A and B are shown apart, each in its own frame.
Chain A
Amino acid sequence: MEYLKKYPKLFQWLFLLIVFFALCFAIDVPETYKFIRGQAEFVKDPNQSVYFFLGKEVRYYAFDVFWRLPPLLGWLPIWINDSLFFLMNEWMPMEFWNEDTQEFKTRPLLLQISRNLTAFMTFLIELIREILLGGLETIVAFTSWDFIDAYPWLELPGLPWTIVAAGAAILSYKLSGKGLALFAGLTMIYISIFGQWKPSMQTLSFILVAAPLSFIFGLGLGIAAYKSKRVEKALYPILLVMQTMPQYAVLVPALVLFGVGDHAAVIITMVVAVPPMILLTILGLRAIPPEVIEAGRMSGCTNWQLMLKVLIPTARRDILIGVNQVIMVCFSMAVISAFIGAKGLGFNLLLALNQLNIGLALEAGLCISLIAILLDKMSLAWANKQTDYFGNLTFLQRNKNVIFFAASFVIGIILAYVGTFIFKGNFNYLFEIPHNKGISTADFWNKGVDWIFDTFFVYIKAFNTWLIQDVLQPMRALYLRMPAVATLVLAVGAGYLIGGIRSALVVAALTLFIALSPWWDRALVTLYMATFGVVISCLIGFTVGTLCFQNKKSAAFMLGVCDIFQTFPSFVYLIPVMMLFGITDTSVLIAVIVYATIPATRYTIEGLRSVPVGLHEAATMSGVNKFQRLTKIEFPLAFPHMMLGLNQTIVFALFMVIIGAFIGTEDLGQYILKALSDKNGAGIGLTLGICVAFIGLIFDNLIRTWVGKRKKHLGID
C-alpha cells in the first residue's frame, strides 16, 4: 500500500497494461479470420454482410466486434470519390470562353479552375525549363503554332551547361564565398559529365517553381494566421493532419484534380510543403519580443514596413528553418511525384530502382542530394547576407559578379559554338552532355553490389533470415493479434493517464477512425514496422547523441551531419539498403531506422545542450562525476526535449514505412501505392493517408501533452 501511495501513476499504468493483456487473451481469434485479407471488402461474397450509407453499398466480413470492429467508415472512400467526381464534372457548370475554338463552352467551375491553374503552372515550369534546356513551348504560349511554323528558327536555345555552372558558382560566391562557389561549380560539373544534365535541369525547373511558390504561400498564410486568431483556428487542424500525412497519400487526389504531369506535381508539392512553412512562420512571429514590435511602430513603420522590415527579419531563424523544410519537401516530392508523371531525376531514380540498377539509382540519387544541399545552403546564405555601406568601391568592384557572369555567358556561348565544329555530327559536349553519353560509374557500383552479394551472401542472408524469422515475424504476429477493443482501451487509457479526459477523447476519436476503416490489420502492420524502426532509431540516436554531446566539437559536427542527411530526399535512403538487402522487409526497416535516427540524434544533442550552464556548475560543485551528472541532472532536464525528438522520430519512421511500400510491404502504404493506379483510387488513397496521419497524431497528442506537463513541472519552457 505504501508503494501505491508513493507511485500512484505507476500502478495506474500497471493496471492499464493488465487490463490490456487480459483483453488480448480473453478475445480469441475467430476461426474463419484471415489476416490482411486482400481487397475482399470490395468483392461480392455470400459470407459478407452489407450495409448502406449515403446510398453507398459497403460489403464486409463481420466478426465479433470485440475482435475487429465492422468497417463502418467503409463508405468514406467511395463517397470521397463520388464527391470528387461530382465536383469536377457536374458542380456549378458555367460558360467559359474557349480560345482554341473561339466559342463559349459550358464547363463545371472546378474543372475550369483546375485547368487554369494547371495551365499557369505548366507555363512557369516550361519557361524555366526552356531557359535551361531550350524549346519552343513558351513562345507558343504567347503566339501560336502557326507563328512557329512561319518562323521555324524561333526557339529558345537553352543555356549551355558551362554557363549554368558558371552562373551557379558566381551566385554562390556573391552570396557566401569561395567555399560554396567551389561546391556549386563542382556539383554542376559532376551533373554534367555524368550525363544527368537534362533530368537535373528538369527537376531544377520543377523545384524553382515549387519552392518559391510554397515559400510565398506558407509565409503569407503564416502571417494571416499570426494576425487573425480565426484564420489560425481554421488552419490548425489541417496543418496538424498534413504534418503527419504521408506524401504518397496526397498524390492520388491530385491525380484526379489536376491530371498527370509536372504541373500536378508542383501543386501537390505545395500542398505538402506549405504546412510546415506556415507552422514555422507562426512560431517565429510569435517568438518576437513585443518591444521589438513597439520599436518598429515607434520608428513610424506602416503595417507593411513593420511586417517586411521588422517582423519577418526578426523571425528569420524560424522562417529559415521553414525554407529548409520547403526545400527538403520539394526534393522529396520531386522523386515521389514521378509516380504521377513528373519528369526529371526522380523519374530516372524510380526507373533505376525498378530495374534494380543500383548504380544508376545511386548516381541519380546523388545528383538530387547535391542539388538539394546546394539550394539549401544558397538560400541560407542569401538570408544571412550583409550589405557593406562603407567600402569605397569602384564601378568595376561593385559589379564584378555581373561582369563575371556576362563574361562567362559570352565564353560559354563561344565554347558551345566552337563545339559544333569539334563534335561534328556528334553530340556537342560543350553545349549539353546528353543522358547516357556522360561518364557513368553505374557499372562499377553494380559490380560492387554483385561482389558484396557474392562475398557476403551467406552472412547477409543469415542475418536477414534471422531478423525476419526470429524478430519481425513474431513481432508482426503479436501486433496483429491485438483485438480492436483491447487496443482501444490501451490507447484511451494512456490518453487519460497522460492528459486527462481531453486527451482520452482525442485519442479515442483518432483510434476509432482507424478501427472503423476497412484497414485495421494494415494499420497494425504499419504500426509494427514503425515501432520496430522507432525503437532501434531511438536507441541509436540516443546513444550517438549522448556520446557526441560529451565534446563540443563532435556535437556540432553531428548536428551538421544531421542537417545534411535531412536534406536528402527520403527516397534516396532506399538505394543503399536495396544494394545490401534486396527486396525484403529488412531493407525497408533499415531505411526507416537510418532516416528516423536523424531526429532522434538531433533532439538528444539539442536537449542536452539546453540544460542551463548554471546547473552544470552546481552539479560539479556538489561533487558528482561525469556519469552521475549525466544521469541525475542532464537526462531528467533534457528529457522533455528528447521526447519531442521521439515525436519527430515517429513521424519520420511512418513516412519511411509508407515510402517503403515501393519495395513491397504489407502495410497501409502498399494500398496507397495501389490506389495510384486505381481509377477510383482517390478516396482510398486519401482515407489511407488520413489513417496513417492519425496514427502519427495519436502519438503526437500523447507526447506533446506529456512534454507540456513535464516542462511545467520542471519549470522550463
Chain B
Amino acid sequence: MSETVIKCESVYKIFGENAKKMLEESNGNVDAKTFQEKGCIVGVNNASFEVAKGEMLVVMGLSGSGKSTLLRCISRLTDATGGKIFIEGQDLLDLNNKELIELRRNKMGMVFQSFALLPHKTVVENIAFPLQIKGTSTEESIGRAMEMVKLVGLDGRENYFPRELSGGQQQRVGIARSLAVEPDIWFLDEPFSALDPLIRKEMQDEFLRLQEKLQKTIMFITHDFDEALKLADRIAIMKDGIIEQLDTPANIVLNPATEYVRKFTEEVPREKVLIIEDVMDASSKDNLGDLKVSKNEIIENVAEKILTQEKLVGVVDSNNNIVGSIKPSKIIDTVFGGRKNGS
C-alpha cells in the first residue's frame, strides 16, 4: 500500500461541559448512555482508521451517527476531545492556529451539503475566494477560477450569483471552490444529498470522472448506502458514533460485521456490487469448461454467460492465468440465495 495520508487513533468527540474530564475518567470505555445521563452527548466514539494516498474512504451512517462530526474533527473544524489525528504524519491537534490555516490553505478542500456559497459573491468570485484569502493576485486567482469553472462545466455562468443557480449548479461551484487551491486532501460532506435523484446520479458520475483525473485523497460522507457502494474504495459504516465496520464494499456486502450493517446490505443488488473474484472458488482449478471470465468482472455483466454453462467456469487474472473457478449455481446463490442467511 502507498503512504498513509490521514490517520486516526482512537478519536473521541464528546459534546458537553465536562466532556474532557469524563473521557479521562472513563479510560477509553465510553458508554453513550451513561454520558448522556450526565449531560454529555457522544459524537464520535473511539474511531481509528487510516486513509491511503489516492484512496476514497466513504463514511456512511444515518443522521446523528456522528459521521459529520468525525469529518469535522479531521478537518479540525471542531477539536476532538481525545485521541490523535495525523495528516501526512503531522499531529493535527498539535498545530497552532497559523499552521492550521497554512494547512487548510494548501492541503485541504471541503464541499458542504448545503453548498455554503458566499451569497454576495458571483460564481467566479466564490471559486477564487480561497485563492484570494491566500493572497494570490486578483488576476491570477480569477484566471485559475475560470479554469475551475470550465472543469465543472459552468462556463458562461461565471458572473451569476449563487441564488441564480440550481442546486446542482451551486454544488458544482462548491466543488470547484474546494478544488481551486489544488488540495491533496478532499473532504466532501454529503455533497449530493440535497440534490434531485437524477442530478445526483449525474453529479456522482461527474465526481468519479474528476477523481479519475485528479486522484485526491478523499473522505466522503453520505447517508446513502448505494452512493457509498458506487463511489468508495473502502466504506466505514457508523452508528451512534462508533465505526461498526470498515471494509471494501464487497466485503461489507458479503460479510456484514454486525446486525446493523446487515440491514443495509440486505436490499443491495449484489450482482451489481460484487465481482467474480469475491465469489469464486480459488482452490479448485480442474474440470474447467471452455468459458473463461476475468476476475475483475462485475457479476451482473457475465451472469448470463456463466448461467448457460454446465461445467465449472474458469476465472482468469489480467495475465490470463487461471486463478480459480466458479460454479454456475454459485451465481444463483449470490443473486437470490444468501440474502437471509449471509453468504
Contact = CB atoms under 8 A, between A and B. Distances in A.
B159 interface: yes
Interface stretch (B58-66, B113-121, B292-300, B319-327): B113-121
Interface string A301-316: 1100100011001101
B110 A298 contact: yes
Contacts of A310: 118
A454 interface: no
B312 to A, nearest CB: 53
A295 interface: yes
Contact of B133 (A292, A294, A301): A301
Interface in B36-71: none
Interface in A296-344: 297-302, 305, 309-310, 313-314, 316
Interface string A643-687: 000000000000000000000000000000000000000000000
A300 B133 contact: yes
Interface stretch (B7-15, B97-105, B201-209, B224-232): B97-105
A418 B145 CA distance: 54
Given A309-B133, A313-B120, A295 B104 contact: no
B134 to A, nearest CB: 6
B133 A291 contact: no
B142 interface: yes
A294 B114 contact: no
B220 to A, nearest CB: 15
A300 B122 contact: no
A524 B142 CA distance: 64
A30 interface: no
A298 B108 contact: yes
Contacts of B174: 295
A294 B177 CA distance: 13
Contacts of B106: 300
A386 interface: yes
Nearest to A386: B122
B75 interface: yes
Q: How large is the interface on A (under 10, 10 to 19, 20 to 34, 35 or more residues)?
A: 20 to 34
A71 to B, nearest CB: 47
Interface string B159-188: 100000000000000100110010000010
Contacts of A305: 133
Contacts of A301: 101, 133
Nearest to A294: B77
A316 B120 CA distance: 9
Contacts of A291: 112-116
A294 B110 contact: yes
Contact of B104 (A297, A309, A388): A297
Contacts of B178: 298
Contacts, number: 71
B130 interface: yes
A34 B60 CA distance: 79
A300 B130 CA distance: 7
A299 B106 CA distance: 9
Given A299-B130, A300-B134, A294 B118 contact: no
The SS class assigned to the B binding surface is mixed
B241 interface: no
B177 to A, nearest CB: 8
B138 interface: yes
Contacts of B187: 298
A623 interface: no
Interface string A380-424: 000000111110000000000000000000000000000000000
A289 interface: yes
B315 interface: no
A292 B126 CA distance: 12
Contacts of A300: 101-102, 104-106, 130, 133-134, 181
B109 interface: yes
A302 B106 CA distance: 14
B142 A389 contact: yes
Interface string B75-116: 101000000000000000000000001101110111011111
Contacts of B104: 297-300
Contact of A294 (B112, B117, B125, B130): B112
Nearest to B115: A291
B246 interface: no
Contacts of B120: 313-314, 316
Nearest to B142: A389
B129 interface: yes
A301 B100 CA distance: 10
A301 B108 CA distance: 13
Contact of B118 (A297, A314, A387, A388): A314
28 contacts: A291-B116, A294-B77, A294-B112, A294-B116, A295-B110, A295-B116, A295-B118, A295-B174, A298-B75, A298-B77, A298-B104, A298-B110, A298-B187, A299-B105, A299-B133, A300-B102, A300-B104, A300-B130, A300-B133, A301-B101, A309-B129, A309-B133, A313-B119, A314-B119, A316-B120, A389-B125, A389-B138, A389-B142
Given A294-B72, A298-B178, A314-B119, 12 more contacts: A291-B113, A295-B112, A298-B104, A300-B105, A300-B181, A309-B129, A309-B133, A313-B120, A314-B120, A316-B120, A389-B138, A390-B158
Interface of B: 72, 75, 77, 101-102, 104-106, 108-110, 112-122, 124-125, 129-130, 133-134, 138, 142, 158-159, 174, 177-178, 181, 187
